[in-house]
Amino acid sequence: MKRLSVLLTVGVLATAIACNNNPKTNSSEAQTEPNTTDAPKEMVIHDYLKEGNKGVGPIASFTQLAFDQKVADEGNKLFIVKCTMCHEYAEDKLGPALKGVTKKRTPEWILNLMLNTDEMFEKDPDALALRDKYESMMVSVGLNEQEAKSILEYLRQEDAKAY
């Protein structure tokens, strides 16, 4: 008898856990009550770093637009094709990990490095420091300005997830 009581208790607990421990599961009240725990959380996309080295190249200033998922998705595709040979997001590879880059560098600097790679590694002190730290130097992968901005938006999105 004691064994049956224990089995029934375990069964009731398992059922309660399986039903999210919600006693209203079968009632009409449960159907009208919104379930806030399953709603997708809106990601807050941070502002780019505004102060700091702007780099050397065609991008003298950058205006941040509202976050655009389509642009970030295109940037993700470009990042995979053009950047992952040397970079990963979370770990160093041939080049540095890019996690947090949009919080450490201005968008102008990041864009100038992608668009004006050779001159950045000749004249920019921050790029020169990176060149000294990593065995291989970044090479131009032939991005146009819109493609570079798409990759930047993808990195911004990833940095918002990481922090």
Q: Does domain 69-162 have CATH number 1.10.10.10?
A: no
Burial of residue 59 (CB within 10 Å: 0-12, 13-18, 19+) is buried
Domain boundaries, the chain: 69-162
pLDDT (tens digit, 0 to 9) for every residue of the chain, 163 residues total?
555 444 444 444 444 344 444 434 343 444 444 444 443 445 667 778 788 999 999 999 999 889 999 999 999 999 999 999 999 999 999 999 999 999 999 999 999 999 999 999 999 999 999 988 887 889 999 999 999 999 999 999 999 986 5
pTM above 0.75, yes or no: no
One-letter identity of residue 130? L
pLDDT for res 1: 53
Burial of residue 142 (CB within 10 Å: 0-12, 13-18, 19+) is exposed
